[in-house]
């Protein structure tokens, strides 16, 4: 039963996102820089990251639910992904701020802004999984203060 509910929730989240992505691609003939600002980069891989992470979460959850991996291992996998994406996003954000404030150039041929956004997307999606994993504890804390 849990598996079916999780699958339906994932599909309910992904369906509107896929429709939005298709609508956005069909309007690709317009000049996006004039409507969205000069800094807009349509090359971010948000949908692919979402689908990949949801599939990975579903696989790891099913491995945990069937007893192949322990709950602790399941939690550790997602905690490592959350902390790793947080650290990369945070550190790259600080570097980007310093580069912008002091008008410096990044010494490597590397699009740091692109990877900062990508890791931020990973962090945001993984936060949803973190809330799902720790929902009982969160519910308990919130009920104490209500």
Give a yes or no: residue 34 inside a domain. no
Q: Is 17 within a domain?
A: yes
Q: Pick out the chain residues at pLDDT < 50.
A: 19, 22, 26, 29-37
pLDDT of residue 140: 87
Q: Is residue 137 part of a domain?
A: yes
Contact 103, 137 (CB under 8 A): no
Overall number of domains in the chain: 1
| 38 lies in some domain | no
31: in domain:
no
Residue 41: what pLDDT?
Answer: 52
Q: What angle do CA 84, 89, 93 make, to 5 degrees?
A: 150
Structural domain range at position 110: 2-21+43-144
Residue 30 lies in a domain: no
Give the per-residue pLDDT at 13: 64
Residue 36 lies in a domain: no
Q: What was the pLDDT predicted at 16?
A: 59
């Amino acid at each position: 039963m849990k598996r079916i509910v999780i699958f339906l929730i994932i599909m309910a989240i992904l369906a509107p996102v896929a429709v939005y992505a298709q609508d956005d691609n069909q309007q690709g003939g317009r000049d996006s820089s004039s409507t969205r600002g000069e800094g807009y980069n349509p090359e971010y891989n948000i949908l692919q990251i979402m689908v990949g992470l949801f599939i990975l979460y579903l696989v790891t959850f099913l491995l945990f639910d069937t007893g192949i991996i322990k709950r602790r291992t399941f939690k550790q996998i997602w905690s490592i992904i959350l902390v790793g994406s947080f650290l990369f996003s945070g550190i790259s954000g600080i570097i980007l701020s310093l580069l912008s404030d002091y008008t410096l150039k990044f010494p490597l041929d590397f699009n740091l802004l692109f990877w900062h956004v990508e890791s931020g997307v990973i962090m945001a999606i993984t936060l949803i999984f973190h809330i799902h994993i720790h929902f009982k504890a969160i519910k308990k804390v919130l009920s104490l203060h209500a």
